[in-house]
Amino acid sequence: MSAGDVAPAADALRRGEFGDREDFFHWALGRPNVDVLVADADGEIIGTGTASAHGPVGWVGVIFVAPGWRGSGLGRRITRAVMDRLEEAGCRSMVLIASPMGRPIYEREGFEVIDRQVRFTADGLSERTAADEPDGLRAFDATDLVAVAELDRWATGEDREPVLTDLIRPETTIIATAADGSLTGFLARAPWRGGALVARDPDVALRLLERRRRSTGVSGKSGAGVLASNENGRERLRAAGWIEELGGVRMLRGAPLDWHPEAIYGQFNGALG
């Protein structure tokens, strides 16, 4: 993808009811660990794919084929091209979130289901005053980056430090700490819709999600994303008034992940985890 491809590619995805990826595409261009591919026919963009290399783990994302080209084998060709880029980057494991339409393609490429995505939504809340801010929550500081990256590696099994370094800022990221000052969780919003949330236990996750609901405001909706195997977290979210909806499946090809899925409560998007 070139800079000139961003707008027409994003428009193709919107017309194909694949959501708005324009802000993500703008961000991804030029990132050394992210490679965005396009397929075109006579100058018209008819497909996209994204390879995001996070150390030993790579994400296959934004695999889109224009409606008129579905069933032609293009989706599989794009997927293989993305996988080739990740293999060249040294990724031993590849992960993705598959829709029902895409799952058969990925299964033919050797991906296996390891879990299921579960989406949660909740109404926003009125903003607190500064004096009402829960203890242990504060804005991110640059000195937190090492601890944030370490917690993220423990939870995801990936090295997302380049992504975190680029995306987390004091104005977009909230840190949760224990009484001794150690990091117990973080919530980082992206320039597009979505945000990574990692927490060592459900209490921390719920505090961060409440903060997210309050920043959303009473007229908005907040979202969270967990893995189906996180039964305790799902139960706690439902008890707190969040509405649950099953999403796509998370699939893996290659070496097993050394991760803690019970600590994941939100994703940047389906191309970055």
- pTM metric for this prediction: 0.94
At 3-35, the pLDDT tens digits run 999 999 999 999 999 999 999 999 999 899 999
- Kindly indicate the confidence band of residue 168, based on its pLDDT and cuts at 50, 70 and 90: very high
Q: 116 forms bridges with which residues in the sheet? A: 249
Kindly state the tokens that stand for 29. 């261009």
Task: List, as one string, the DSSP characters of 155-171.
Answer: HHSS--HHHHHHH--TT
Q: Which helix (H) or strand (E) holds 78?
A: helix 74-88
Answer yes or no: CATH 3.40.630.30 is held by domain 3-91. Answer: yes
- CATH number at 119-246+260-266: 3.40.630.30
Residues of the chain with CATH 3.40.630.30: 3-91, 119-246+260-266
- CA 18-76-100 angle, to 5 degrees, is 50
189: number of Cβ within 10 Å = 21
At 118-140, the pLDDT tens digits run 999 999 998 765 445 567 999 99
Q: Is 143 exposed, middle or buried (0-12, 13-18, 19+ CB in 10 A)?
A: exposed
Whole-number pLDDT of residue 272: 97
